[in-house]
Amino acid sequence: MIEQSDTMIRVEQTVDVPAGELFAVLADPRRHVQVDGSGMLQADVHASPITGVGQVFTMAMHYPALGDYRTDNHVLEFDEGRRIAWTTAREGQPPAGVRWSWALEPLAGERTTVVHTYDWSQVTDPAVLARVTFPRVSADALTASVARLAAAAG
């Protein structure tokens, strides 16, 4: 299922992988390149597994209009095995208001409902809004990320 508005894309799929295995991949930024359906992530930069709110991990990125750059990702939510979310910022800059989240709902057996959300509703800086066209990542790319997460964890 895909839900999209002017400020958010949310995809939901059920996969045949236990929530704990999916979460282990999401909590390890070194594995995020395996999950990325957009093709923008290039590598982690000195990242360690995420263990709680307030941590920051840095990723090397590439976007055709911007070239190579890095992002600092500030962890906003961390509920072991269930939920993880972060907001992104250009390296060394404060977050602009883009939020990425993953919610995992364990089901019977080894199945899990995965909800992946890309939310730019908190972007209010006129300079950012003038130079960035949202969404930068499509619903198809988010859907691909969920499938890639299942493959990476399975």
Residue type at position 104? L
Measured at the CA of 57, the angle between CA 53 and CA 60, to 5 degrees, comes to 155
pLDDT computed for residue 66 by the predictor: 80
% of the chain with per-residue pLDDT over 90: 83
**Residue 95 to residue 87: CA distance in whole angstroms:** 6
Q: How confident is the model at residue 58 (pLDDT cuts 50, 70, 90)?
A: very high
Measured at the CA of 29, the angle between CA 25 and CA 34, to 5 degrees, comes to 60
Whether the Cβ atoms of residue 111 and residue 21 lie closer than 8 Å to each other:
no
pLDDT computed for residue 84 by the predictor: 98
Which CATH number is associated with domain 2-153? 3.30.530.20
Strands 2-4 and 98-106: unpaired
Which phi-psi region, left, alpha or beta, contains residue 62 (left: φ > 0; alpha: ψ -120 to 50)? beta
pLDDT computed for residue 48 by the predictor: 87
Q: How many Cβ atoms are within 10 Å of 25's Cβ, its own excluded? A: 21
**Over residues 62-66, mean pLDDT:** 84
Q: How confident is the model at residue 144 (pLDDT cuts 50, 70, 90)?
A: very high
Is 131 strand, coil or helix?
helix
Q: Which residues pair with 75 in a beta bridge?
A: 86
Q: Which residue has the tokens 């993953």?
A: 102
Instruction: Summarize pLDDT for 72-81 with one digit per residue, the tens.
Output: 999 999 999 9
pLDDT computed for residue 116 by the predictor: 98
* Whole-prediction pTM: 0.94
Instruction: Summarize pLDDT for 12-54 with one digit per residue, the tens.
Output: 999 999 999 999 999 999 999 999 999 888 987 777 899 999 9
Query: What is residue 135's DSSP assignment?
Result: P
Q: How confident is the model at residue 64 (pLDDT cuts 50, 70, 90)?
A: confident
Instruction: Summarize pLDDT for 79-92 with one digit per residue, the tens.
Output: 999 999 999 999 99
Residues in the chain: 154
Phi/psi of residue 52, nearest 5 degrees: 180, 170
Element (H, E) at 127: helix 126-131
